[in-house]
């Protein structure tokens, strides 16, 4: 053994390649090589006994004398757990072939392939093991103590306190749970505090969001697992709120795009934006505003916008007011200003106290260019509703603006949309005797049989807004 060690040309950082495993995605591990030769470059070539499962990047190369390099082992997406877990199959091994490189060596891989059988290379053999939160959680859920212990032993870092608390809650429900709970407690980087009621009410989405596991959130959502998007814990906190509280932008983005309510309130009335404001997390505030968060949504009578004004936080006020600026510019028909604001990521779906969005305001005033620009930047506005359930199309009809009605219809406005009182755009146009608009709506598929809750004009009042 001592002779073999003396003949080695490279030193490997780890004798076991630990791959952080997850189902259905590529999993990677980086291996570090250090040249032991002080006189010549060392050529290396990586071979695997399971090329159907693994890729290597780069598969070969040169290391300058006494220098370092790395290669990456990539496990192709797997549809089932590795077996035997957590160790790899006996055939899952890697061979690092090394030899002193001749001067001006070009293609290392071709050179290795052309070597005669009598040429002796200096080889290093590496095993593979699988680790990571996915496998650890699986081991805990199934009560597999040995697998959980092996994963934890191979991982280079201990569990984060919150992650350990989540797993302890799962382990506590197992039969003979004491050993598993003790194992997890000892493996945390900090002492685990007693689990409280608020965390016992967490769903899998809560846990993933609190631990910044974006991929896990995406997987849970796609599989319709992990609980409802807006499920609240004992304090009324959603998964999105937890992610925003910790500044986990990727998690917030995935949850919001999946339909999570960015303005969901905790039991004491706080929103994610309010928490980001009190944390001083401007990046999170900007992200939440882009995702449609309402800066005027208040907590105990005070909104982030009001607090920023009271504290003379000029930059924050400007950030929060940009949505209001889009609404005002849309109402005034300042198309260039609207475009400038939107190009700097101003909030496009800001609403006033009546629930009016910028597109509502443009529709009321007949600003067609502004309306087309707004829909281009935010197609979701086309069927947005105010506090009374009016879409921009309802208000364009009410204004008697046939050109605006046509613009909205051509961009996907719902022709049979109902207000809170059940009125369609067609009903309004007939009531106002706008014959040209009525014909346009009928040609676009309006249903003449849909009537409000009461057909009496006295019981159906038009909505008017201050200019």
Q: What CATH number is associated with residue 403?
A: 1.25.40.20
Question: Which residues lie closer than 8 Å to 428 by C-beta, 6 or more apart?
Answer: 394, 397, 398, 462
Tell me if 119 is assigned to some domain. yes
Give the three-state DSSP class for 4: helix
E-strand spans in 81-190?
Answer: 93-100, 122-131
pLDDT in tens, 314-366: 777 766 766 777 888 898 898 887 887 787 667 787 777 678 889 999 999 99
**Same domain, residue pair 157 and 284:** yes
Give the domain-ending residue among 130, 157, 174: 130
Tell me if 105 is assigned to some domain. yes
pLDDT of res. 90: 60
- Residue 401, φ and ψ in degrees, nearest 5: -100, 95
**Same domain, residue pair 289 and 150:** yes
Helix H or strand E encompassing 361: helix 358-365
Give the three-state DSSP class for 208: helix
- Residue 101, φ and ψ in degrees, nearest 5: -85, 140
**Same domain, residue pair 143 and 286:** yes
Mean pLDDT within 63-77: 90
pLDDT of res. 345: 66
Q: Specify the number of domains making up the chain.
A: 3
Q: Please tell me the pTM assigned to this model.
A: 0.42
Angstrom distance (rounded) from CA 362 to CA 229: 33
Structure tokens at 129: 């093991």
Q: Could you tell me the residue range of the domain that residue 191 belongs to?
A: 135-294
pLDDT of res. 466: 43
State how beta strands 16-20 and 122-131 pair.
Answer: parallel
Structure tokens at 300: 């105990």
Q: What is the CATH number of the domain that holds 27?
A: 2.60.40.10
**Same domain, residue pair 155 and 273:** yes
Q: What percent of the chain has pLDDT over 90?
A: 33
Tell me if 313 is assigned to some domain. no
Tell me if 300 is assigned to some domain. no
Categorize the per-residue pLDDT at 458 as very low, low, confident or very high, splitting at 50, 70 and 90.
very low
**Same domain, residue pair 259 and 400:** no
E-strand spans in 38-182?
Answer: 42-48, 54-57, 60-63, 68-75, 93-100, 122-131
pLDDT in tens, 390-430: 999 999 999 999 999 999 999 999 999 999 888 999 999 99
With 60 as the cut, is the pLDDT of residue 462 above it? Answer: no
**Same domain, residue pair 225 and 84:** no
CB-CB neighbours of 66 under 10 Å: 12
**In terms of C-beta distances under 8 Å and separation of at least 24 residues, what long-range contacts does 109-112 make, across chains too?**
109/45, 109/59, 109/60, 111/43, 112/43, 112/45, 112/60
pLDDT of res. 304: 78
**Same domain, residue pair 62 and 158:** no
Categorize the per-residue pLDDT at 50 as very low, low, confident or very high, splitting at 50, 70 and 90.
confident
Nearest partner of 184 among 226, 134, 137, 129, judged by Cα: 137
Give the domain-ending residue among 276, 294, 312: 294
Angstrom distance (rounded) from CA 346 to CA 349: 9
Burial class of residue 394 (count of CB atoms within 10 Å of its CB; 0-12, 13-18, 19+): buried
pLDDT of res. 194: 39
């Amino acid at each position: 053994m001592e002779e073999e060690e003396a003949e080695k040309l490279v030193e490997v950082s780890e004798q076991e390649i630990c791959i952080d495993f997850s189902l259905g995605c590529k999993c990677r591990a980086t291996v570090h090589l250090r040249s032991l030769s002080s006189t010549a470059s060392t050529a290396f070539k990586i071979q695997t006994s399971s090329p159907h499962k693994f890729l290597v990047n780069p598969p070969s190369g040169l290391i300058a004398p006494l220098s370092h390099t790395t290669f990456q082992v990539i496990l192709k997406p797997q549809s089932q757990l590795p077996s035997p877990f957590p160790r790899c199959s006996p055939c899952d091994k890697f061979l690092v072939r090394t030899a002193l490189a001749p001067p001006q060596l070009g293609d290392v891989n071709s050179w290795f392939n052309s070597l005669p059988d009598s040429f002796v290379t200096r080889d290093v053999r590496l095993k593979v093991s699988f680790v990571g939160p996915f496998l650890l959680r699986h081991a805990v859920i199934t009560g597999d103590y040995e697998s959980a212990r092996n994963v934890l032993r191979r991982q280079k870092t201990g569990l984060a306190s919150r992650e350990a608390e989540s797993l302890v809650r799962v382990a506590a429900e197992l039969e003979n749970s004491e050993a598993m709970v003790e194992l997890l407690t000892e493996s945390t980087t900090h002492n685990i505090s007693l689990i409280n009621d608020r965390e016992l009410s967490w769903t899998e989405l809560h846990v993933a969001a609190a631990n910044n596991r974006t991929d896990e959130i995406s997987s849970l959502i796609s599989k319709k697992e992990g609980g409802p998007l807006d499920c609240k814990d004992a304090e009324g906190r959603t998964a999105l709120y937890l992610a925003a509280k910790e500044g986990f932008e990727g998690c917030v983005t995935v949850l919001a795009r999946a339909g999570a309510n960015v303005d969901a309130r905790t039991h004491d009335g706080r929103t994610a934006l309010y928490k980001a404001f009190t944390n001083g997390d401007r990046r999170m505030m900007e992200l939440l505003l882009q995702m449609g968060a309402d800066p005027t949504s208040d907590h105990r009578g005070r909104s982030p916008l009001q607090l920023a004004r009271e504290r003379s936080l000029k930059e924050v006020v400007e950030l929060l007011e940009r949505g209001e600026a889009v609404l005002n510019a849309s109402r005034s028909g300042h198309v260039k200003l609207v475009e400038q604001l939107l190009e700097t990521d101003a909030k496009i779906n800001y609403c006033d106290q009546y629930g009016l969005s910028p597109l509502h305001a443009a529709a009321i005033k007949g600003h067609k260019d502004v309306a087309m620009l707004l829909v281009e930047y935010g197609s979701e506005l086309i069927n947005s509703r105010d506090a009374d359930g009016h879409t921009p199309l309802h208000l364009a009809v009410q204004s008697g603006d046939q050109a605006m009605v046509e613009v909205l219809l051509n961009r996907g406005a719902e022709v049979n949309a109902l207000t809170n009182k059940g009125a369609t755009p067609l009903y309004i146009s007939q009531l106002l005797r706008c014959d040209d608009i009525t014909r346009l709506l009928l040609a676009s598929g309006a249903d003449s049989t849909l009537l409000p809750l009461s057909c009496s004009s006295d019981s159906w009042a038009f909505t008017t807004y201050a200019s």
